Structure 1
Amino acid sequence: MNILWIEDFGGGLDSGTQTLNLLFQDLLSFNNWDEDEWSLLSNPAYLQDYCQKNSARHCIYLCRHYFDYEAFKTNNDLIRKIDAVIIDIRLDNQVDFDAPIPINSQEKNKFHIEAGFYIFNDLVHFGFPSEKMSFMTGETNSLVGFSKKCAQIYIPNVVGFEKSDTGYEKLRQWIKDQDVNYSILRRGIIEGCEFLNQHIDQNDENVQFRDFIKLENNQPAIEVPVMEIKNYLDALSQSLAIREPIDPSNLNIWYRLFLRTLSHEWEESIETNSLMQRYGNDLSNIRDIYTFAWIMKMTRNWVAHAKLLEPLNEQFIAFLFLVNMRAMFRLPKAIQPYEQILLRLIPLSPKHGFKFDEIKDKIEYAERLVDEHLTFLKIPTEKHFGEKINAIYRQVTGNPDAEEYDFKTFLFQYFWINQKQKDSSGNLTACSDDFLPTLARHIYPIAF
């Protein structure tokens, strides 16, 4: 979660670590914080850098006064960048009183004394939900008065806490309450799209998706310009609004639209067999990419013509986003930061993995069960697992009397079954923190 923290430390800064722990203990670790060399006042950017370098679960962006906030807003898309805001009211410590302020007033001192209220109103006007903002202040009387004024003119309820032991404890709980599955999914998608945009800026060859384009007369059937991919990533990053729908049915519609956008690129001109041809029909080094592509091809077909994967949830969307990006882009074997965010949404089996022999029976049982489904539907079974479950999809689509099948589980099982040859050498069940075995451990409880 990305937190915008607006605090001028007007009450003094006895200890940077002490101040940070009062607000963020149990959420972040400051064991490596350089107390002597850095202070929040002298270098607020150090807090952001510290969070990123220490792979913190949350990233904190610090603004010390109105002018810091204005600069941050100018240089960032706040709606996509920030998940929650903590605001102090009085922001007049070490501020330039000669600098212009945004309202027509000569009382610059008074403006900075109540600048937190202006920032709150500015964010609401900008489209940031009031329920994702909280005041943390020593100006309790001012907060009470502001809350009453907001209520009188029908501004949404204002949340605020006093700078006290109890207040800090309540604020930490408030931050935890913002860290819900929807917010985790949205943050992972946004961070993933930003990373991948930078990844292809570094090297156009990182667009692996072109390897799946159908060949006609030994030439690609279509072209995939970098700008098209960048527009695709930008559309995905803006697909989920910052405020989660209250009605579960509306949320499901959002996820359905997102999934259609995510899988849209896997159209008829894109074939998994094209990848095989480029590698001489040898899957030994590309089996994971081939598997991911098959999952996305099936997903596109299934969401375009039916609602077989619904109801949709954050866990399933996260899985498809992860495999889609691993198919479309050349990425290192190591887990990327955005992938770590999204994996939080998927259950984790024992961290140290398991031997292939321990799960072989479950994989074989899943295959036998699908063969039984095909026999019941009178469909030939001489195909690989992906073709089998796709055949079930074609048979039941549009048939109101058809049996119900768990197509989401089919996709999770396909990941394991299509990898089983590779897994006999231990790559999939290895005690490794690389992406492939980590994803396997996470989805194992869902697949079987």
Structure 2
Amino acid sequence: MTHFLWVEDFNVSETKRSENIVSSTVSSVFGSILNNAELSARLAEEDENDAQDFLEEKGIFLKLNLLEALEFINDPKELAKIDFVVLDVDMPLENGQRDNNNYLFSLIERCPPEDALRKIAGYHIYTELVIELGFPKSHILFCSNHASYFEELKSKFSSANIKPPISPNPNEPFLRKEDKEFINQWLDNAHVDYFVLRRGIIEGCKYLKSLSEEKLQFKEFIKKDDDKKIELEDIRDYLGVLENFLPLCKPSDKTARYKLFVRTLAHEWEAAEPKQLNGQKELYALSWIMKMSRNWLAHGKVFEQLTAQDVAYLFIVNMRAMFDLGSDLLPYERNLLSLFTDVISVQEMQDKIGKGVQDRKIPLVEHYAVLLKKTGNTWQAINFHDALNNLQKNKNKVTESEFLIKGLYQTFWFLTSSGSVFIPFDEEKIKGFTRLQYQFNYFDYHYQKQDYLFELARHIYSRSFS
């Protein structure tokens, strides 16, 4: 989910406020992206502090006065937590807290009197963000019940020779809270794939940087004859690069940026060798996906048209291979998987997995045959990922990038199902064979636990086989 800073005072300056001012205001602005039943339950007391706690869980950082907002945006670590800003116009200057950094004191000195400053406090947050901190103005929305101050606000922008803020309403730079159509339009734009992907990567890297060395399993993949040493601090530096790779402003050519990101993501696999650790077939699959990605990036143009979903998939795969993250689906993974829209249900996934090879409905044989036909090698039993690698390296065959990218998804299924030629233990039975059968073993994708592996499987299923 995209993260927001919301500066809102819930009409605290007014003598008469409606009894449900907190819940109704939250619903007016963010109701389209929140669960209304949960909102009502959590804000039953109509308390601003309850709202702060509830909204922060949803990635919305609520500040109740000008000083709180100034302290937040001037702290680089805090500012890095958000992608978009919603500003009230009129708000209290402070609520008894200390102004240790003189943010408010210096502003009052420059812009007296205090009452006039309060009425257009949102303007000063806006200019601090845009002019001083370089925050993109297209990521800021004015939304207020104080419509009577809008003309004064427009005059302030005009006298300072600053263009008015950008709004979904072409006729009005400042929205009222009842302008739900335009507010929802702005929120939809804030949740396009690029911003969801970027925030998921940032939150993932922040979490992964906090892990101890015991969780770092990537060193087990490094080739024994390689001099490369994997140190935790080096991996944290690597995560820091990834965390800051995608800019806050969406690039005009985001696919080029995605390719560069994946190149950086996969680079560490140059010295790695895919293997099955602790009997986990999924780790063998994940490590091969990243190894192939690294090799293809170095020797081809496969990744020219990556989507946000593809980048999210590779990020999840990479981090699950590099770190021992346990079996639960992590919050950042859940956010990244939300990018996949054609997701089959839990029941559908369980039906496709089946209870064994005989009732499994995953179309492995069909797609294995398609790949072999495409390679032209139909006389040799070969692992799916080996055939896919051979196809990518074959300069005599022009293979669509989309087919190869889909192959990276399918590799997840084929390597967990570990194809092999069936040969019975009893050699006498072999004598009666007229043909050997290449088959795919059964893998349950932890469908009973419904853990991260199961969730990953059902989210990527349609992308893998449609």
Same fold (TM over 0.5): yes
For 1:286 and 1:232, locate their aligned partners in 2 and report how far apart those are by CA, in whole Å: 25
Q: Which of 134, 143, 152 is matched with 2:141 structurally?
A: 134
Matched with 1:112 is 118
Cα displacement (A) at 1:367 = 1.2
- Equivalences for 1:63-102 in 2 at 5 Å? 63-77=63-77, 80-92=80-92, 95=95, 100-102=105-107
For structure 2, the 5+ residue unaligned runs are 168-172, 420-439
Spell out structure 1 runs of 4+ moving beyond 6 A.
none
Question: Which position in structure 2 is the counterpart of 1:383?
Answer: 382
Query: Following the alignment from structure 2 to structure 1, what is the Cα–Cα distance between the partners of residues 94 and 165?
Result: 31
Which of 40, 47, 54 is residue 50 of structure 1 equivalent to?
54
TM-score normalized by structure 2?
Answer: 0.81
How many aligned residue pairs are there? 415
Q: Which moved more, 1:431-440 or 1:340-349?
A: 431-440
- The 8 Å contact of residues 374 and 392 in structure 1, kept in 2 or not, is answered as yes
Match of 1:271 in 2: 273
Moved more, 5-14 or 330-339: 5-14
Q: Residues 94 and 410 from structure 1, CA distance in 2 versus in 1: closer, same or farther, beyond 3 angstroms? A: closer
Maintained 8 Å contact 1:147/1:157: no
The Cα shift of 1:394 comes to 1.4
Which AA in structure 2 matches 1:314?
Answer: A
TM-score under structure 1 length normalisation: 0.84
Distance 1:106 1:184 in 2: 40
Q: Based on CA coordinates, which of the two structures has the bigger radius of gyration?
A: 2
Aligned AA for 1:439? L
> Is the alpha carbon distance of 1:151 and 1:322 closer, same or farther for their aligned partners in structure 2, counting shifts above 3 Å?
farther
Give the whole-Å Cα distance in 2 for the aligned partners of 1:333 and 1:25: 32
Decide which of 312, 319, 323 is 1:325's aligned counterpart: 319
Q: Distance in 1 between matches of 2:295 and 2:443?
A: 32
Query: Are 1:197 and 2:209 matched, yes or no?
Result: yes
How far, CA to CA, are the matches of 2:51 and 2:362 in structure 1?
50
Amino acid in structure 2 at the alignment position of 1:49: D
Change (3 A) 1:127 1:251: same
Instruction: Give 3-state SS (helix, strand or coil) of 2:284's partner.
Output: helix
Q: State the partner residue of 1:282.
A: none
User: Taking structure 1 as reference, are residues 88 and 71 closer, same or farther at Cα in structure 2, changes over 3 Å only?
Assistant: same
Structure 1: where are the runs of 5+ without partners? 280-284
Question: Deviation at 1:359?
Answer: 5.3
Q: Do the aligned partners of residues 242 and 293 (structure 1) sit closer, same or farther apart at CA in structure 2, a change above 3 Å counting?
A: same
The answer as to 2:370 corresponding to 1:369 is yes
Q: Distance in 2 between matches of 1:184 and 1:362?
A: 31
Q: What is the aligned-residue identity percentage?
A: 29
Q: Is the Cα–Cα contact under 8 Å of residues 2 and 83 in structure 1 kept in the other structure? A: yes
2:367 partner amino acid: A
Find the residue that maps to 2:376 and give its secondary structure: helix
Q: Say if 1:92 and 1:109, in contact at 8 Å, map to a contact too.
A: no
* Letter of the 1:335 counterpart: L
Query: Relative to structure 1, is the Cα distance of residues 156 and 298 closer, same or farther in structure 2, using a 3 angstrom cutoff?
Result: farther
SS at match of 2:326: coil
Change (3 A) 1:117 1:386: same
> Pick from 340, 345, 355: which aligns with 2:339?
345
**Residue in structure 2 matched with residue 33 of structure 1 by the alignment:** 42
The offset of 1:263, in angstroms, is 0.7
- In the other structure, the counterpart of 2:215 is 206
Q: List aligned pairs for 1:292-311, cutoff 5 A.
A: 292-311=286-305
SS in 1 for 2:90: coil
> What RMSD, in angstroms, separates the aligned Cα atoms of the two structures?
2.8
Counterpart in the other structure of 2:405: 408
- What CA distance in whole angstroms lies between the structure 2 residues aligned with 1:151 and 1:305? 54
- Answer whether contact 1:8 1:93 (CA < 8 A) is retained: no
Amino acid at match of 1:254: R
- Cα deviation, residue 149, structure 1: 5.8
